[in-house]
A and B are shown apart, each in its own frame.
Chain A
Amino acid sequence: MQYKSQIVAKHYFVGALVLFVAQILFGLVMGLQYVVGDFLFPAIPFNVARMVHTNTLIVWLLMGFMGSAYYLVPEESERELYSPKLAIAMFWIFLVAAGLTVIGYLSVPYATLARVTGNDLLPTMGREFLEQPGITKIGIVVVALAFLFNLSMTFLKGRKTAITSVMLIGLWGLAIFFLFSFVNPDNLVRDKFYWWWVVHLWVEGVWELILGSILAFVLIKITGVDREVIEKWLYVIITLTLITGILGTGHHYFWIGAPEYWQWFGSVFSALEPIPFFAMTLFAFNMVNRRRREHPNRAATLWALGTGVMAFLGAGVWGFLHTLAPVNYYTHGTQITAAHGHMAFYGAYVMVVLTMISYTMPLMRGRAANSNAAQVMEMWGFWLMTIAMVFITLFLTAAGILQVWLQRVSETPLGFMATQDQVALFYWLREGAGLIFLIGLLTYLASFFKGEKAAA
């Protein structure tokens, strides 16, 4: 760690990992409710568990991105963070706001939460992933603006690199597109159309810029390959991302009432979306193969390579599987979507945040890398979580194919619930894989407490 103020990242990373645990526990609750329908009912209905599962995911990834930026921007800019105090204050505000929101979800009916937070004055709630009360959304905007101010001031006064430029464009884009969460027309088609300006333009747009810059930063550090080479790759990857991903938004406009030409734009451009992910895989492996040093943190290298592979599989391959309009006509809104969502979020965003945590945490704790024993344990966590996620995805895909066949393709289609009964076996298997994921997560977390002695 070269600058004292980089240490603020530690708060964000610890906060992110705590929320990660909550996310997985609620995921297991939902997974069980798929097969034991009345599990925890009425204390925690499925929709509540799902809000906690998805919202904690989003918040912990945002915390991970923020922590990454607070670590990376000072080092790249070659100066201290503009205001470490502001960064710490924003962390606590964010964590408390997230905690109160989750308590709100769990303690009162959602309609009560909507009423007491004044949702009728500015209705923004009750839309997938944007379920937060208006006041929480405003809090997110305030935290994001303070964060961007802090980083932009650091950036402007220091050295400007491709990595920080790309990261700041990604983070500003994240904040700007989030403003569409306040757009909720009564017209359902327009509501859905602009809802995707948050959701799609985040995960298949600006978030990939953040992902690319974090990966590029860690690869420079662990491989020692020339910055010039890495920055060129970064620009090529994000160019491919945006020229495919922006019009790729069209793959969400097939069946929600938008004009039918979106079937062409959406199919063609989103079919190209795997290309930047494949470039990212090649990038990670190429840079590691051309490394000029043997970095003692082998676990961080594993995470970086894993991100390249799993982002391509989850976002690229599993996205392509159901993105062409004639295929999507049958798969839209089935377990195929869930399968893709799980592996894409894990492979791209969870893994890149864990890559950054893996690289920076030892440095923030005063050593280049963790002890061998701790790294081995961390790598066990990597493999258990990653393999478990592969199986979760495969089981959900199997469930999805069966569901499509029984409910939508068959000459004598079954109803939704009758179909669900037929695929229950795969939901049980998915829940088992989820338990392995939890064991992997606990192993990973335990590695932070293993062998405090430095490696070298």
Chain B
Amino acid sequence: MSASFSTSAARNMFYGGSTFFFLIFLALTYNTEQQLPKRDQRAQLDNPAVVAGKRLWENNNCIGCHTLLGEGAYFAPELGNVYKRRGPDFIKAWIKAQPTGTPGRRQMPDFHFSDKDLDDIVAFLKYASEINTANWPPNIEG
């Protein structure tokens, strides 16, 4: 690297450049927060079932096998749009039927959910399916 370009110039470029881009990142974050109410279905969070459903989602580590809006593990189907793909009754019946015990097949544990728990989970998945995700996933299969 050229001798005319000194270490202290490189250092100043580092501090200046990173600070500048971090400030832009903060500004974009602020703008994102302003725009989110139009996209994120936050009115649904007034329904306690949605929040309770998110807690059940987290407390059972669903993300350890499934993806939600494409993030998580890739072992089991995408659930961000499962409400639209399968509908509420199928989701509840499916969860209750686990594990299938079919030899050699991937198994989902029995989480011992109550009927209220299942309703909460469905409310959460309905909320997730209505978030504006810029048309992702490409088709209903997730």
Contact = CB atoms under 8 A, between A and B. Distances in A.
A416 B107 contact: no
A36 B105 CA distance: 7
Interface of B: 1, 5-7, 10-11, 13-14, 17-18, 20-22, 24-25, 28-29, 31-33, 35-36, 39-40, 42, 45, 50-51, 54-55, 57-65, 67-78, 99, 101-107, 109, 111, 127-128, 131-134, 136-142
A156 interface: no
17 contacts: A37-B105, A42-B109, A45-B64, A46-B65, A50-B65, A114-B59, A123-B58, A126-B61, A126-B62, A184-B58, A187-B45, A189-B40, A236-B13, A247-B21, A254-B136, A255-B70, A334-B74
Interface of A: 30, 33-34, 36-38, 41-42, 45-48, 50-51, 109-111, 114-115, 119-120, 123, 125-128, 131, 162, 184, 186-190, 192-193, 228-229, 231-233, 235-236, 238-239, 242-243, 246-247, 249-250, 252-263, 265, 329-330, 332-335, 337-338, 407-409, 413-417, 420
Nearest to B31: A259
B40 A188 contact: yes
B10 A235 contact: yes
B17 A243 contact: yes
B11 to A, nearest CB: 5
B75 A255 contact: no
A187 B104 contact: no
Contacts of A334: 74
A114 B57 CA distance: 12
A207 to B, nearest CB: 14
Contacts, number: 229
Name, among B54, B61, B139, the residue most crowded by chain A CB atoms within 10 Å (CB to CB).
Answer: B61
B99 A36 contact: no
Name, among A42, A109, A238, A255, the residue most crowded by chain B CB atoms within 10 Å (CB to CB).
Answer: A255
Given A189-B131, A333-B74, A334-B74, A238 B59 contact: no
Nearest to A404: B138
Contact of B14 (A33, A123, A238): A238
Given A186-B45, A190-B36, A256 B69 contact: yes
Given A257-B133, A414-B141, A337 B74 contact: yes
A128 B63 contact: yes
Nearest to B131: A257
A332 B70 contact: yes
B131 A51 contact: no
A193 B65 CA distance: 21
Contact of A408 (B13, B21, B139): B139
Nearest to B18: A242
A184 B72 CA distance: 16
